[in-house]
Structures are given as C-alpha cells and as structure tokens.
A = this chain, B = another copy of it.
C-alpha cells in the first residue's frame, strides 16, 4: 500500500520546453540531412538550435533518440500533407487522384528535401536506424503507393510495369533534383527551389508516368 508522500508529485511540463524541443528537432533535421548521422555532431545541432550541447541529452535520451524524433517529424509532415490532399480528392477518379498525389509528393520533396536526403543515407545499408525508418514510416507509404499503382495498372491508364519498379522510378525521378539541389545549381544554373522549376519537374514526371500533363 503506497503512502501518499512516497509517490513523487508529477508536475505539468512548461510550454517553453516544447518550444526548445522543437527548435532542437528542426536543427537536427537540418544537420542530419546535410551531414548524415555520423557527420552531424550534437554540438553542431545545439549551436544551430541556439542552445547548449548538454540540453540535447536532457530532452532526448541519446543522439539516436534525437534522430528518431527528427525522422518522425519530417515523415509526419509528409504524411499530413498527403492525407490532407487525399481527403480533398475523395470521389475523384483514381487517375486524377494519382496525378495530383504525385504532384503533391514532388512539391513536398522540393520544399522539404531533408526527408529524402535522410532516407537515402539510411536505407542503403541495413541497421537499427534503417529498421526503424522503414518499418515505421516507409512501409505504410509504400503499401499505399503500390495499391494505387496496381489499380491504375489494371485499368490500363499506367504502363504495364510491376509496381515495385514504378515505386522506385517515382521516388527516384521525383525528388532527386531537389535532393541534389546544390549540384543542380552548379551544373545547370537552374534553381530547384523556384516554383516554376518545381512545377516543370512535376509536369515532366507526370507526363512520363501518365502520358499527358494534367
């Protein structure tokens, strides 16, 4: 029978803590995506967030835990964007749905290249971080993408290509220009953050995948 005094009083967290937590996560997303997990240092992340380094271990158990929070953050943003778009497209035919969802995906990848930068870094080798990211975030999106492509393939509105290949063509052709934005700028002078460039790229990918520009 526990006495009342033995139970430690749990006090509500202060709102300022959430704000700094978010600043740290944003800095972590930025640096993890640019420098990879090993290249980004906790001191560098703390500096970009404007806090001291030990604060990272106060809010997050370890560098690994902070990485999880950063990955959860960027994927939550993508999932929110896509599900919101999908909800607005209920009742529309699947081909139009697919076209607009692909455009939304490409636009998101252009505005948030950090996501695919992190995916590219971690998914090329097995490991605990790849485990977490694939099972928690990538697989659900993969399953939904495959399902949509399968429906479209049955109706013949998409070329007769196995969905796995279509998936990697889409996730390769769509974001790469923006993942490699610094290289693109230097090679071609094209600025991948320009709205016109983003739209042109979405047009290009859609015209190849679906035959015509929507």
Contacts and interface: CB of A to CB of B under 8 A. Distances in A.
Interface of A: 33-39, 113, 117, 119-121, 123-126, 130, 134, 138-139, 142, 159, 161-162, 164-177, 179-184, 186-188, 190, 200-201, 203-205, 207-209
A180 B208 contact: no
A174 B173 CA distance: 8
B139 A179 contact: no
Contacts of A169: 173, 176, 204-205, 208
B39 A124 contact: no
A176 B177 contact: no
Contacts of A124: 33-34, 113, 117, 179-183
Given A119-B180, A134-B186, A172-B175, 8 more contacts: A39-B39, A120-B121, A130-B182, A142-B187, A164-B190, A165-B200, A167-B188, A169-B208
A162 B184 CA distance: 13
Contacts of A139: 187
A71 to B, nearest CB: 14
A125 to B, nearest CB: 5
A168 B201 contact: yes
Q: Is the interface of A mostly helix, strand, loop or mixed?
A: helix
A2 to B, nearest CB: 46
Contacts of A166: 204
B120 A180 contact: yes
Contact of A173 (B39, B172, B179): B172
Nearest to A183: B123
A179 B123 CA distance: 8
Nearest to A205: B169
7 contacts: A34-B125, A38-B39, A130-B182, A165-B200, A168-B201, A169-B176, A172-B174
Instruction: Specify which of A38, A117, A124 lies most central, judged by the most chain B CB atoms within 10 Å of its CB.
Output: A124
A166 B115 CA distance: 22
B134 A183 contact: yes
Interface centre among A33, A138, A168 (most CB of B within 10 A): A168
